[in-house]
Amino acid sequence: MPASKTTSPKTVLELHVNNHPGVMSHVCGLFSRRAYNVEGIACLPEGGGETSRIWLLVEDSNRLNQMVTQVTKLQDVHRVNRHPGNHQVFGQLRDIMTS
C-alpha cells in the first residue's frame, strides 16, 4: 500500500536582507540545520542593490514561530513578514513553470 502524502498549510516568509555573498547561505543553512524544509525560494535585489528580498515557501507547522524568531536574529536580516501560502510570488512562478 503506498504511503499517503499529507499536505500541510503553507506560509510564505518575506525576508528583507542585506545583499552580499553568503546571505542566502546563512538563511538556508539555518533552515537546513533544523531540518525544516524550504519548498520554494525566490530572491531579487531591490532599490540600488544594497538590499534584497527573499521569499521562502515553507510548511506552516508548530515550529514556524521559532524559525521566524531565529531567522530574525541573523545579522543580515532586517525584517520578516509572513504571508499566506498562496502569495503571488509563488503563484506567478507556478504559472511560468507550467507554461
CB of 35 within 8 A of CB of 63? no
- Position 99 scores a pLDDT of 86
Type of residue at 88: Q
Mean pLDDT across 62-70: 96
Domain ranges of the chain: 10-98
* pLDDT above 90 coverage of the chain, percent: 79
Over residues 83-96, the pLDDT tens digits come to: 999 899 988 888 88
CATH, range 10-98: 3.30.70.260
In degrees and rounded to multiples of 5, residue 94 shows phi and psi of -60, -40
pTM: 0.88
Question: Which of the four pLDDT bands, split at 50, 70 and 90, describes residue 2?
Answer: low
CB of 12 within 8 A of CB of 83? yes
* Number of neighbours of residue 17 by Cβ within 10 angstroms: 23
Mean pLDDT across 15-37: 96
